[in-house]
A = this chain, B = another copy of it.
Amino acid sequence: MTSIAMIEAAAERLAGHARRTPLLSSPFLDEIAGRPVFVKAECLQHTGSFKFRGAFNAISALAPNGVIAFSSGNHAQGVALSARMKGIASVIIMPSDAPVIKIDNTRALGAEVILYDREGEDRDEIGARLSAERGLTLIKPFDMAEVIAGQGTTGLEIAQQAAKAGITDAQVFVPCGGGGLSSGIALALEARAPGMQMHPAEPEGFDDVARSLMVGAIQRNNRLSGSICDAIITPQAGNLTWPVLQRLAGPGQVVSEAEALRAMALAFDRLRIVVEPGGAVALAAALFRPGEGPVIAVASGGNVDRAMMARALAV
């Protein structure tokens, strides 16, 4: 289980390696929301998403000889760069139909990318064989205590930065897939900003955590593809993240894809940051759902291709 002590230890490991991302605001966004809005711009983190924090912390804490991960997205890049910074090898396993740009980017960060055929091959079998042969340690995308602790450092920074702005009571909206970031932030806020409550944010049709919180038991998504918010689509919350979410999370926030695109465009106009669709769902909820008092939205990632950004800007 991840504890506040583990999150504090993660913050020490990340100091001087991860970026302390800014907490941004704009009077124009306050006006739209009808209340003060703050945006934790984690899209400005190394590799363009919060995933770097968890990967770097897990690799630092576990001190492996080499690591392996299954990902074609933000987790892959976070693991690859972290491993390179720690001077160890990384192997990233991706489906052979992953976008070429993602394969190239991950290789450019120093990883060995191994492609598998989704139809004919079992990625877990490939991973297990490589781990055994080469002594690699698996870095999971969210259901791993040291990964959650690393993501939780985002919550420590939110607590400190908000306090400096005079804010101690707030809703904190966090894009949620498997729940690594949201559970880590919830744990950090519980200890360091008890006047703040974390609410997971998800896209319509992939709102398993919002439904899980309503019924008090893990629910699954029916579909796992077909969303522009692909970075935060997972089958269900994790075995480690769910108990934290159940205990600490406020009601889930669910937004449409159109709202996520509008939030991307407003982040462009008013904060001058680039946010990917999945990373914009918390900001969309902050801007377009009624609420009282200050709201802090995490912009969790900015890895969006030029065509998708052009689509958001044409809205």
**Complex contact B19–A44 (CB within 8 A):** no
A302 at the interface (CB under 8 A from B): yes
A229 at the interface (CB under 8 A from B): no
Partner of A27, one of B21, B31, B48, B109: B109
Distance in Å: Cβ of A306 to nearest Cβ of chain B = 4
**For the complex, would chain A's binding face be called helix, strand, loop or mixed by DSSP majority?**
helix
Q: Of A187-195, A255-263, A270-278, which binds chain B? A: A270-278
A24 at the interface (CB under 8 A from B): yes
Known: A108-B28, A310-B313. A271 touches B44 (CB 8 A): yes
A 139-166 binary contact with B (CB < 8 Å = 1; else 0): 0000000000000000000000000100
Give the residues from 251 to 300 in chain A that come closer than 8 angstroms, CB to CB, to chain B: 265, 268-269, 271-275
Considering the chains assembled together, what is the distance between the CA atoms of A164 and B16 in angstroms?
8
**Complex contact B306–A43 (CB within 8 A):** no
A100 at the interface (CB under 8 A from B): no
Partner of A19, one of B22, B43, B273, B313: B22
Considering the chains assembled together, what is the distance between the CA atoms of A38 and B41 in angstroms?
18
Copies in the complex: 2
**Complex contact B306–A268 (CB within 8 A):** yes
Considering the chains assembled together, what is the distance between the CA atoms of A253 and B306 in angstroms?
28
Considering the chains assembled together, what is the distance between the CA atoms of A28 and B24 in angstroms?
25
**Complex contact A273–B44 (CB within 8 A):** yes
A240 at the interface (CB under 8 A from B): no
Residues in B neighbouring A89, C-beta threshold 8 A: none
Residues in B neighbouring A43, C-beta threshold 8 A: 272
Residues in B neighbouring A269, C-beta threshold 8 A: 306
A218 at the interface (CB under 8 A from B): no
A9 at the interface (CB under 8 A from B): no
Residues in B neighbouring A81, C-beta threshold 8 A: 27
A309 at the interface (CB under 8 A from B): yes
Known: A21-B22, A27-B109, A109-B27. A272 touches B313 (CB 8 A): no
Residues in B neighbouring A105, C-beta threshold 8 A: 28
Considering the chains assembled together, what is the distance between the CA atoms of A282 and B269 in angstroms?
22
Among A273, A303, A314, max chain B CB count under 10 A is at A273
Residues in B neighbouring A273, C-beta threshold 8 A: 44, 272-274
Considering the chains assembled together, what is the distance between the CA atoms of A299 and B267 in angstroms?
17
Q: List 14 A-B contacts (CB under 8 A).
A: A16-B164, A21-B22, A22-B44, A28-B105, A41-B44, A43-B272, A44-B271, A44-B273, A268-B274, A268-B306, A268-B309, A272-B302, A272-B303, A306-B313
